[in-house]
Amino acid sequence: MPIEIPALPLPSVYPLGVILFDFLFLLVAIPIEAYILNTRLRFDKKTSIFYAISINLISSVVGWVAFFIAEPLLPKDLRTELISYAFFNKFQSNTVPPLLIFTALIIFFGTFILKFFILKGLLVLLSEPEKAPKDPENFKQRNTIRASRAKLQNTSVVTTTLIANSLSYSAIAIILLLRVR
């Protein structure tokens, strides 16, 4: 069996711009959302930064994966427009911008829902495993307190996520608008 040096499947174009933009968006979104989490949900600074980093990274991953799944399934016209925008920074027809706004709306609400569920998931994942309560009376009391706290948190988590997401998207939108000028 002769050992062949494999031909590296290296690409001939590098989408560094896309990566830098994604990185910039994360850099903008994380501190804003961390600040909102810190002020509204009263996590300490370190914890809120952790939550902000994780919800943004994970929603970014989910977004990318959705793109990778959707991209080959797009209708040919749309795919061509996408390619045209990526390589030549312009669309071929002018029917695209309305569609773009629609997509942006879907992305916004999609990430909002996603971030909420990620945050809830992380809250569960990071809670200390409860030790089995020895005292049944104490257990009952504690349980009701915990239940009310969880209920309170649920609504405030939703609004906090919405505010954090809106603010970070506004910041990103402002950056994009500044670029167009």
Partner 1 sequence: MQVFTDIFKFGSDITARIKNIVNIPKAFSWQTFIYLSVFSGLMSYLASGFVKDLISLCGWLFLIAGTAWYTTDGNPLKFFGTDMTVGALITGALVSIFAFGHESTILTSRTFVLWPTIAGLISAVPEFFSGTGTDVSAQIPKPEARQRMIILVASCMVLSCWLQFFFVMDNWLNEYPSLKSDSFKNSTFVLRTQPPETVPENGALVLNKIQPLLEEQLTERNWSEAEKWLKNASSQVGKLGREVVDKQLQKFDEKSFWKIEPRITNTKSGYKLDILSIWTGPSSNPKKYYLKKSCTVEPFAGGVRTNKPDAKGTVAEIICEGGSSLFGGSPPPQQ
Binding site for partner 1 (CB under 8 A): 1, 6-9, 11-19, 21-22, 26, 50, 53-54, 57-58, 60-61, 64-65, 68, 71, 76, 80-81, 83-84, 86-90, 92, 122, 125-129
* Structural tokens at position 89: 């920074």
Q: Toward partner 1, which CB reaches closer, 9 or 136? A: 9
Residue indicated by tokens 């501190």 = 31
Q: How far apart are CA 82 and CA 64, in angstroms?
A: 15
> String of b and e for 114-146 (b: at least 16 CB within 10 Å)?
bbbebbeeeeeeeeeeeeeeeeeeeeeeeeeee
CB of 140 to partner 1, least distance (A): 26
CB of 31 to partner 1, least distance (A): 15
CB of 51 to partner 1, least distance (A): 9
CB of 138 to partner 1, least distance (A): 23
The pair phi, psi for residue 132, each rounded to 5°, is -60, 125
Q: Toward partner 1, which CB reaches closer, 13 or 137? A: 13
